[in-house]
Structure 1
Amino acid sequence: MFGHSAGGMFAAYALFQRPGAFDKMIIGSPYLQGVRGAVFTAEADHATRAKDLDVTLFLGAGDREVDEYFLAISGIVSSMARFSETLRLREYPSLKLETRIFTGEDHYTVVPRIVSEGIRHLWAEEAAGLLSSWPEPQK
């Protein structure tokens, strides 16, 4: 699953409302503070009833998103960092999480980089064996 901006909020929410529906997700520049922080509430509820989150997840945003007033007050970058940190602190055994902030990118120009790097991260093992130009999976 892929979601960007409000679509990223939806993807993150779906992660906890329907755990297991997707085993690989790319979430870009998500508006996680939307709907009164529903994603953080859903994650906290998930943590009380489940001790694992079996998903490979790639989170990404552009560093210049903090320069755009509306995006800055919406907390795009800061809430994504909080989300990533929260997931890491839960220590979900099956969670494979990669979080990246892309230098020189804003909310709109970052999308192709999120998709490209996300695909490389999510399918690194499969791709390394098929396409010699893909990097070896990080261990």
Structure 2
Amino acid sequence: MSKPSTISGSMQIGNKKVTVKLALLLFEDGGVNIAYCPAVNVYGYGNTSTEASKSFEVCLEEFFTYTLRKKTLVKELENLGWRIKKEHKFYPPEFSSLLDKNKTLHKILNTRNFTKIDQDFTIPAFS
């Protein structure tokens, strides 16, 4: 697998946005490079880690676009273990708590060689 590239995520609704640091796992599965963020359960893939990273960015944007359109962003994030305060502060689940609840993450950590990077992502503050 090639060296991890920089990942960036950005989604803004007017001036309402927040930035959070999320763990991103980069690994190979069957000759395909995967970028996976367990905090939002979003994947990207490609022939290289750069392609996987770009695919992930597109998929992350689609996740936000879809949940905002359906008005389910807050509910979806809460279902994924996020804490969202009334003052529009978003707190992603701790990586260690994701291990207890996310069987996919558990499998990746136990069966794949991976690189974990922590990356800042900008997400919409309102659904």
TM-score over 0.5 (shorter chain): no
* TM-score range relative to shorter protein: under 0.3
Q: Which has the higher contact order (CA 8 A, sep 6+)?
A: 2
TM-score by length of 1: 0.26
Q: TM-score, normalised by structure 2?
A: 0.28
The structure with the largest strand share of the pair is 2
